[in-house]
Amino acid sequence: MKDETMSQQTAPRAPEARRRLPDEIGVIVALAVMMTVIGVARPRFLNPLNLLTILGHTTFLGMLAVGMVFLLAIREIDLSVGWIFNFSAVFTALLMVAHIDPWICAVAGVIFGAGLGLLNGVLVTTLRLPAIIVTLGTFSMFQGLSLVVNNSRAVVPPGQDSSYFNAISAKLFGVLPVPAVVFLVLAVAMHLVLHRSRFGYRVQAVGSNPEAAELAGISNAMVRLQTLVLMGAICGLSGAMYVGFRGAIDPNEGSDFVLMVVAAVIIGGTPLSGGAGTVIGAVIGTLIIQVISSGLIFFGIDATWSTFVTGAVIVLAVSLDQIVKYQRTRRARRARPSG
């Protein structure tokens, strides 16, 4: 009798243990396998300096991916993120050229990015159009304005021996770049916001069921507005730090960011159907994209193939996501009591 009781008590533990596995386990394993395969074939790939270089290249793009998680969670996509990044960086650099304190310029760049996000949000909520339609227009608007104010030339701030440039270009413990540290801190903070805050709950509620969210007293329009402002502020932060790290901003830097940002978020496991998101997955997804690009170089393959491979990985990730959803739906239907 005791054995039967014990077996009944222990029987459910296996599924519960499986449920405790993080949602991002799949992409983490994929990243580890990918790095192992490339490392075995090209041992120099696993050189710590090369890995830190990959992390450095991930930083600015990864920040944008963190913000995009919130947008996909409400079933939206911002196509203008690359040019908000660029325009914010140009704005920051031009203020520095005007001999304003670089720290004040950096803060102004973040606020400027938030302002561009606010413009997107106001247009989306006022016109009642999907963000992907509105930002298709603001993509060109921000691009044109950025090219006008920088005269289609790189903006190089003076006085790069100041504390701001020294702080951003420094390495923690002599190894880890400061922008990478900020990126990781931002990712942790946004993970907590998405899963532990009222705002994160509202984002997931709106993305899961907008009608039910409205009935629960959650304003869909306000959540969309706040999310687009958050996206703009993160773009501004990334742009301001880019200027401090690189010491300049090229006129077309960021023009191709949107594809890689959306790819990183989808690869990381955030569904296009909304209602959920994973910031950690987006970070891993960004690393996967950078590992692919770096791996192609180590294998002597033309870097232009990286765009094709990234697209193929997106298709694979979306296909696997649909298969997993289908299998879950089938299991849920079978588990329902008949009659």
For position 338, what pLDDT does the model report?
55
Q: Which residues of 4-34 are buried (b: 16+ CB within 10 A; e: fewer)?
A: eeeeeeeeeeeeeeeeeeeebebbeebbeee
For position 62, what pLDDT does the model report?
93
CB 146 within 8 A of CB 83: yes
Instruction: Return the biggest CA–CA distance within the chain.
Output: 84
Residue 147 CA to residue 154 CA, distance in Å, equals: 10
Residue 78 CA to residue 222 CA, distance in Å, equals: 16
CB 85 within 8 A of CB 64: yes
**78: DSSP letter:** -
For position 321, what pLDDT does the model report?
67
CA-nearest of 277, 306, 320, 326 to 77 is: 277
For position 280, what pLDDT does the model report?
93
Residue 99 CA to residue 93 CA, distance in Å, equals: 10
For position 308, what pLDDT does the model report?
81
For position 21, what pLDDT does the model report?
65
Would you list the domain boundaries of the chain?
A: 54-254
CATH superfamily assigned to domain 54-254: ABC transporter involved in vitamin B12 uptake, BtuC (1.10.3470.10)
* Rg, Å, the chain Cα set: 22
Beta bridge partners of 155: 249
Running along the chain, 339 residues long, what does each successive block of 10 average in pLDDT?
42 46 78 89 86 85 95 94 96 94 96 97 94 94 94 89 90 84 94 94 93 92 96 96 93 88 89 88 91 84 76 75 69 67
